[in-house]
Structure 1
Amino acid sequence: MNYKDNKTKFVLKFIVPLLIIGVIAGIFILKSSEQKLVADTNDEFALEATSIDLKQLKSYGLPIVIDFGADSCVPCKEMAPVLKKLNKEMQGKAIIKFVDVWKNKNAADNFPVDLIPTQFYFDKDGNPFVPKDPEAMQMMMYSTKDTNKHIYTAHQGGMTEAQLRAVLKEMGVE
């Protein structure tokens, strides 16, 4: 055997497998970083929030439901599994948020929250949702005193899954 044959065998036995392992490791690292990026992006659509950036939420072009409540409030506890289920199911179709106002005291400062739970609704264009029959849905319509511009649509008290689904359906979410 000459030097050239030994070099070829060395390359085939050691260098090529090392290159293959390197390529596989590189692909694995790349895929892992992509998954982390997706997970970080989806955190914005997580159910629980410590504050609400309404401008940011409206920028996604999806209907929005924001529930202000508390982990210790009885009607809030009853709504919790419904909110969790709908948040998971509606990913990419609607944004559903829950804010614990007892843990995050200033989170509802820009919203007219008198009792908990209270839900606020915004359509896909970022405007306050206007139900066909606000009284039947027990919705409250808030407007500014000076211009009478509609700024919030809210529901006070707990809601069942069927009630929330009916509101979402009227908002255009299937």
Structure 2
Amino acid sequence: MKLRITTLVAVLMLAATVHAELPSTTDAVVKRALTSGKPTVIDLGARTCIPCKMMAPILESLSTEYRNKANVLFIDVRKDQPAARKFRVQMIPTQVFFNVQGKEVKRHIGAMEKTEIVKELKAAGLR
């Protein structure tokens, strides 16, 4: 238990110092992503939410690593409440995965590890 708390504190400190975060996405960008023929993950959260802050560097890394292969998007639901309603967000962070046809194939609530996100993107058609 002590190791988990120490790890969590280290991750939060790293997230606070790195400031890696995707810009909040617009509805037009979401529409383009869902019609791009690439798998997409949309992380719906808030800049002030601790689990969301933990996700920020992971999402930034995935966005860079899979730039031409998948869409990795972030929506700040505190600033974009219509998006929160559209995607039926009940808790944050929520990740919504879409396949290459733009159809929702998976939904997850809570923080996710990078490996889990990659696994879901592969299931959605990542090549």
Instruction: Give TM-score, length-normalised by structure 2.
Output: 0.75
Structure 1, residues 71-90: CA drift from partner, whole Å, max 9, x if none? 11011011110000001111
Take 2:31 and 2:80, find their aligned partners in 1: how far apart are those partners? Answer: 19
Take 2:50 and 2:41, find their aligned partners in 1: how far apart are those partners? Answer: 20
Checking the alignment, whether the CA contact within 8 Å between 2:45 and 2:77 is kept in structure 1 is yes
The structural deviation recorded for 1:162 is 1.4
The structural deviation recorded for 1:58 is 1.8
**Which runs of at least 4 in structure 1 moved beyond 3 Å after TM superposition?**
none
Structure 1, residues 5-60: CA drift from partner, whole Å, max 9, x if none? xxxxxxxxxxxxxxxxxxxxxxxxxxxxxxxxxxxxxxxxx942343344322221
Checking the alignment, whether the CA contact within 8 Å between 2:38 and 2:125 is kept in structure 1 is no
Q: How many equivalent pairs are there?
A: 106
Alignment of 1:1-174 (within 5 A): 47-53=22-28, 54-129=30-105, 153-174=106-127
Checking the alignment, whether the CA contact within 8 Å between 1:50 and 1:104 is kept in structure 2 is no
CA RMSD after TM alignment: 1.8
Counterpart of 2:5 in structure 1 is none
2:81 is paired with a residue of what secondary structure? Answer: coil
Take 2:35 and 2:125, find their aligned partners in 1: how far apart are those partners? Answer: 17
Checking the alignment, whether the CA contact within 8 Å between 2:41 and 2:73 is kept in structure 1 is yes
Take 1:51 and 1:154, find their aligned partners in 2: how far apart are those partners? Answer: 20
Higher alpha-carbon Rg:
1
Percent identical residues = 40
If asked which structure has higher relative contact order (CA below 8 Å, sep 6+), I would say 2
Q: Which runs of 5+ in 1 are unaligned?
A: 1-45, 130-152
Take 1:97 and 1:50, find their aligned partners in 2: how far apart are those partners? Answer: 6
Checking the alignment, whether the CA contact within 8 Å between 1:62 and 1:94 is kept in structure 2 is yes
